[in-house]
Amino acid sequence: MPEAGALSLYAALLRGELEGDEALQASRHIFELVMNNVEQAIWWKDVNSVYLGCNRKLAQYAGLDDASEMIGKTDSDFPWGQIERPRTGTEWFQDHDRAVVESGEPILGMREQVRVVDGRVMWVETNKVPVKDREGNVIGTLGTFIDISERIEAEDELKRTLEELDERVKGRTYELRTANDTLLREVEERVRLEQRERRRRAQAETLRDTAAAIARSLQLDDVIEQALRGVEQLFDHRRSRVALYDIDGVLELAGLRVPGGTDVHEFEPHTPVPDLSTDAGKPRAHGERPCPHLGDDGTVILPLQVADRLLGFLAVEPNPGAGFTTDEIGLLATIADQAASAISNSRALVMARSLAAIEERQRLANDLHDSVSQTLWTASLVAETLARSANLTDDEAKQVGRLRLLTTGALSEMRTLLLELRPNVIEETPLADLVRQLASAFESRKSASCTVDLGPLPEVLPGVKVALYRIVQESLNNVARHAEATKVRITLSCSQDRLRLEVTDDGIGFDTNRPPEHLGQRIMAERARAIGAELSVCSSVGSGTSVTVTVSDVVGLPL
């Protein structure tokens, strides 16, 4: 039946002119007309994933002349059931059919791959919903999908573009700073040219000062504060705020200001906020720049963007009943551009400083290892050799012993320093070696003995190892500074998947009811909590101190 005729029947059906078989036939034709003229492929199956029907679109993908040929078949009978790729194939499709039947809940927006009759493999977005009888029992599934191959290609292209932009960020710092200087000179020139207009001159001067303050600011918080202050000086408004995207793409509040100062009661840094873009969630064409726009309440929302990278938004809310002119929005856009460049510079600077610090620490560690550490090792070896000499007087033997102790301790101190310069080495070094090294370094600093008692130990997780290392280090530092001890014992043992660390000394002790802040108990307690361990500190005046850490559920192989 032609489509025009089917629509005429449907009109007659709505007017109540058809009854019985004629009405049923008209409804069927309208149903087929709708099913066969939508872009989506549509099908329905029974609870065993056997096809009960489909529309013309799916039949075409299957290479069938008539949709009725699908009835009684399964996915394994068609091209998409034979493909061996992720997120496709008979087992993949039927598993999700079964999940919908068993749970009675729909699966929406699922991305899959489908091979059609011409051999082409396309990405589709699939929806599957349960079909229920009048009693609410699931009797089958209804599914649809639509070809999204072009969207997937566009997303892949966008991802590649963003990755390329990220690689260029470090090299953009100088260029952006030059752009800031150029824009500053343009602002200053505009101020000189607009001296006849008092209001515009004042606005331009304020804009110039704001741009200079932003350009001078190296810290992200300072950049945002200077931008918001500039907005406050330029216009009367209710409040202004800056929101920035974090590394996960979540828009967070980064700064808020009301005329007269920051509203500390409302401003919570890093609070997620709704996306301020009018086309949030919609893909943009490559290179398309978002434009300033007005919110429902007249708020001016300006993008903070550098090149093709959207950093966030500057939003300025007008006073009730007021608004902003086109020229004022233009001035706000200038502040937004300056702030975007400075924010990008600040982030790049932080990254550059971090990389420079890591490189410098690595270089210093290498230099110390190749020079001072080797010299100390040689001196320690010479002292060890002298100590074995039989031709020394008692006084000489005593001095050589002292030299041997000093060189050995200095070498341990150097190794500890190298660990601090290269923290990842701590995770790679056995826990027993770390404890012995700390003990040796302690003995070189204090005229007190440090005994290490180690039982068979498992290989613990890197985070646990670092925490225990820091707790031993802090405990020995406390002993060296405050305990006036002559003997220290470090005991490390493992029994029934419980690792126990104990550091005891025979020092002056302290009253645990009034622990002194400088003992660092708070730091040790935080480290213990971070790894799920129990920390206890026992002490009394004149009876020494004992620090105990117990880590449960330690799993690993004995060293």
Provide φ and ψ at 386, rounded to 5°.
Answer: -65, -35
Q: Over the stretch 37-52, which tens digit does the pLDDT of each residue have?
A: 888 999 999 999 999 9
pLDDT reported for residue 109: 92
pLDDT reported for residue 320: 84
Q: Where are the beta strands (DSSP E) in 133-278?
A: 138-147, 239-245, 251-257
Q: E strand or H helix at 291, and its extent?
A: none
Residue environment code for 241-250, b if the CB has 16+ CB neighbours within 10 A, otherwise e: bbbbbeeeee
Average pLDDT, integer, range 7-34: 68
pLDDT reported for residue 226: 81
What SS3 class is residue 121? strand
Please determine, for residue 308, whether its predicted confidence score (pLDDT) is greater than 90: no
Domains of the chain: 36-147 (3.30.450.20), 157-348 (3.30.450.40), 439-559 (3.30.565.10)
pLDDT reported for residue 132: 93
Contact present, 228 and 302 (Cβ < 8 Å): no
Cα separation, 319 vs 297, in Å, equals 10
pLDDT reported for residue 438: 82
pLDDT reported for residue 264: 45
Average pLDDT, integer, range 230-245: 84
pLDDT reported for residue 101: 94
Query: 239: closest CA among 267, 216, 218, 217?
Result: 267
Of the pLDDT bands very low, low, confident and very high (cuts 50, 70, 90), residue 559 is: very low
Q: Which of 10-19, 87-96, 354-363 has the lowest mean pLDDT?
A: 354-363
Average pLDDT value for the chain: 78
pLDDT reported for residue 549: 92
Q: Which of 139-148, 255-264, 358-367, 510-519 has the lowest mean pLDDT?
A: 358-367
pLDDT reported for residue 511: 81
Burial class (CB in 10 A: 0-12, 13-18, 19+), 65: exposed
Of the pLDDT bands very low, low, confident and very high (cuts 50, 70, 90), residue 298 is: confident
Please determine, for residue 160, whether its predicted confidence score (pLDDT) is greater than 70: yes
Q: How many CA atoms lie within 13 A of 223 on its CB side?
A: 26
Cα separation, 129 vs 141, in Å, equals 6
Q: Over the stretch 327-340, which tens digit does the pLDDT of each residue have?
A: 878 888 888 888 88
Neighbours of 313 (CB within 10 A): 24
Contact present, 164 and 180 (Cβ < 8 Å): no
What SS3 class is residue 423? coil
Q: Over the stretch 265-284, which tens digit does the pLDDT of each residue have?
A: 455 666 777 776 655 444 44
Please determine, for residue 358, whether its predicted confidence score (pLDDT) is greater than 60: no
Task: Report percent pLDDT > 90 for the chain.
Answer: 20
Please determine, for residue 369, whether its predicted confidence score (pLDDT) is greater than 50: no
Please determine, for residue 168, whether its predicted confidence score (pLDDT) is greater than 80: yes
Structure tokens that stand for 371 in this block: 């020079």
Q: Look up the pTM and report it.
A: 0.35
Please determine, for residue 220, whether its predicted confidence score (pLDDT) is greater than 70: yes
Structure tokens that stand for 431 in this block: 């826990």
| Highest averaged pLDDT of the listed ranges 153-162, 368-377, 379-388 | 153-162
Please determine, for residue 241, whether its predicted confidence score (pLDDT) is greater than 70: yes
Please determine, for residue 78, whether its predicted confidence score (pLDDT) is greater than 80: yes
pLDDT reported for residue 283: 46
Average pLDDT, integer, range 237-260: 83
Structure tokens that stand for 252 in this block: 């967070």
Q: Over the stretch 190-214, which tens digit does the pLDDT of each residue have?
A: 766 765 566 677 667 776 777 777 7
pLDDT reported for residue 557: 37
Query: 361: closest CA among 315, 422, 314, 305?
Result: 422
